[in-house]
Amino acid sequence: MKVLFIGGTGTISMAISKLILEKGWELYLINRGNRNNDERLKGAHFITVDINDEKAAAEKLAGMQFDVACDFIGFVPSQLERDYRLLKGKVRQFMYISSASAYQKPCGNYIISEKTPLANPYWEYSRNKIACEDYLMKLYRDEQFPVTIIRPSHTYDERSVPLGVHGDKGSWQVVKRIKEGKPVIIHGDGTSLWTITHNSDFAKGFVGLMGNIHAIGEAVQIMSDESVTWNQIYQCIATSLGVELKPVYVSSSYLAAHSDYDFTGSLIGDKANSVVFDCSKLKSLVPDFVATKRADQGIRETVEYVLAHPECQTEDPYFDKWCDEIIAKMN
């Protein structure tokens, strides 16, 4: 199978790229070349170009045909319009990474399936994803453009510990606080249900949908069946570090009102909601799919990796100071 990825080196896409190469498929990556030396991408073909330079990208793709193409870095409809101009007539299946955050908030039912309405008034990111989906599905209906929409939830890899509340520089500062015995902020009371999915599991579901004729014109969510509370997630981090967890519970609305971070979107529009995902559609399309990385196992492995790799330990003094200030107000 001949595959084109726009992106291909991020949290979700790297695991998929790795699995595709292990299968012996022909993989082409359009990107700026910042991570092309990664050993996991050995055997891939690189098309080094800024995808936003449409003329240059069109010249690079001239005369090429693909079984599957996927845009991992499309966030607004104008980017998908560009993809359509570049790939019309060149692909048998175009896959788009949307987001489970696009589902309606507040949730009408805590069990989420592809039939759940899309509506998120709290997060522009999610509204843009909905607009992208609308654009692509119209292309499918009107132009028979072979679209498959993919909706991931909270997907993580070995480089970033899954969290609810963190700063702009990633998860390390929170991990460091837990490791040093400092109190950490957990939104709400920590009892809402959440789903985290390791990227290696996500990749299995995604690859099963590639070249799958039954996935054309469909939206499919890919995630683990396992649900855990935020208290369990943070406790798994502390257990992996061998220390006591010292949680400070703060309402999501308070966090949104007392920070420069977009907690209105990421919490009220996403992580503060209790969700359980129904993955029966994915399993009907990919009968052998099963997520095998349990939350506590994945968190432990990620914590161990981050501790062993200083490049994953980005300090965030601004966020650390903000945590101290919020926690002081709670006491």
pLDDT at residue 331 in the model: 80
Please report the pLDDT score of residue 110 as a whole number: 87
- Mean of the per-residue pLDDT values of the chain: 96
DSSP structure string for 38-59: -GGGTT-EEEES-TT-HHHHHH
37 and 139 fall within a common domain:
yes
**pLDDT, tens digit (0-9, with 9 covering 90-100), for 268-281:** 999 999 999 999 99
Dihedral pair phi/psi, residue 167, rounded to 5°: -90, -170
Give yes or no: residues 187 and 51 share one domain: no
Residue 36 has pLDDT above 70, yes or no: no
Q: Is residue 25 one of the residues assigned to a domain?
A: yes
The answer on 167 and 96 residing in a single domain is no
Q: Tell me, letter by letter, the H, E, C secondary structure of 272-290.
A: CCCCEECCHHHHHHCCCCC
Whole-model pTM: value is 0.96
Is residue 310 domain-resident? yes
Average pLDDT over residues 184-200: 98
pLDDT at 222: 98
- Report pLDDT for 128: 98
105 touches 113 (CB < 8 A): no
Sorting pLDDT into bands at 50, 70 and 90, what band is 157? Answer: very high
For residues 112 and 19, membership in a common domain is answered with yes
Give percent above pLDDT 70 in the chain: 99
Do 259 and 147 belong together in one domain?
no
Digit-coded pLDDT (tens) for 271-312: 999 999 999 999 999 999 999 999 999 999 999 999 999 999
Give the per-residue pLDDT at 105: 94
Check residue 35 and give its pLDDT. Answer: 64
Here the CATH number for the domain that contains residue 7 is: 3.40.50.720
Residue in the block written with tokens 């499309």: 74
* Residue 50: Cβ within 10 Å count: 11
CATH code, domain with 318: 3.90.25.10
The reported pLDDT for the residue numbered 223 is 98
Q: Is residue 50 part of a domain?
A: yes
Q: In the chain, what percentage of residues exceed pLDDT 90?
A: 94
- pLDDT level of residue 9 (50, 70, 90 thresholds): confident
pLDDT (tens digit per residue) in 120-133: 999 999 999 999 99
Query: In the structure, what pLDDT confidence band is assigned to residue 260 with cuts at 50, 70 and 90?
Result: very high
Whether 286 is covered by a domain: the verdict is no
